[in-house]
Amino acid sequence: MLDLSRIKLFEDTPRKPNELHISTLCYCPRKEFFSYFFKPAIQVLRDDVLAGKYIHRIIQDQLEQMGYKVEVEVSLDLKDNFKLVGRIDAANPDHIVEIKTVRELYSPVLIQWILQVNTYMHITGIKKAILLIVERQTGEIHQREIEYDSNKAEEVLNLAEEVIKAIKMKDFSHLPKCQDNRCKYCSFEMFCRKA
């Protein structure tokens, strides 16, 4: 008989304890909850994800040559010894830059992007963000300027508190679900749909 206890779809996360990741939290608080404890045993990088990483590197190299700092680490202390951590794609004293790659250039600016850049602006005190939206197929780039909105940053801080509560109780059922395209590619969907 096959010993099923030796087959694992998920492993313990390699993450540092008490850290919440801004990008995942803004993407989906439930996903941040699951990622805090687990990671998929094998991570298969889809072609579009690989292309996205490659495009990031190309643009970041060029921004660095233009005087931007890249991969800028930020963190913010939260309650119960937790902290929010993240890495901004690029920044100078006037604005931050976040690179997003998309299938079609004229798709809408996503709420998770707005939340993410507002959190970075809140932490750094820089009041302007530029979203560089790149169409993966063509390399065409569109830029959108976003002014700091403290309400959006506040929304993320409230979500972080909810996720901390969920982590401490090991119960994600009260966290909001996305119920949109994000769930389609989420590794945790099989757990998430149960509550």
Both tokens assigned to 69: 């700092």
Q: How many CB atoms lie within 10 A of CB 26?
A: 27
- HEC string for 114-163: HHHHHHHHHHHCCCEEEEEEEECCCCCEEEEEEECCHHHHHHHHHHHHHH
Per-residue string for binding with ligand SF4, 121-160, x by CB under 6 A? ----------------------------------------
- HEC string for 68-111: CEEEEEEEEECHHHCEEEEEEEEECCCCEEEEEEECCCCCCCCH
Cα–Cα distances (Å) from 193 to 17, 30, 158, 190, in that order, read 26, 11, 23, 6
Element (H, E) at 20: strand 19-21
Question: Which span sits near ligand SF4 by CB under 6 A: 30-38, 68-76, 77-85, 94-102?
Answer: 30-38
Question: Which span sits near ligand SF4 by CB under 6 A: 41-49, 54-62, 80-88, 174-182?
Answer: 174-182
| Cα 12 from Cα 17, distance rounded (Å) | 12
Question: Which span sits near ligand SF4 by CB under 6 A: 6-14, 66-74, 157-165, 185-193?
Answer: 185-193
Report if residue 19 touches ligand SF4, rule: CB under 6 A: no
Report if residue 162 touches ligand SF4, rule: CB under 6 A: no
> Site residues for ligand SF4, window 96-125 (CB under 6 A)?
none
Report if residue 10 touches ligand SF4, rule: CB under 6 A: no
Q: Are 83 and 18 in contact (CB under 8 A)?
A: yes
Q: Binding residue for ligand SF4 (CB under 6 A) from 22, 26, 30, 89?
A: 30
Site size toward ligand SF4 (CB under 6 A) is 12
Nearer to ligand SF4, 135 or 189 (CB): 189
Question: Which span sits near ligand SF4 by CB under 6 A: 11-19, 26-34, 56-64, 67-75?
Answer: 26-34
Report if residue 56 touches ligand SF4, rule: CB under 6 A: no
| Cα 129 from Cα 182, distance rounded (Å) | 23
Min dist CB 17 to ligand SF4, Å, is 20
List of residues contacting ligand SF4 (CB under 6 A): 28, 30-31, 34, 177-178, 182-183, 186, 188-189, 192
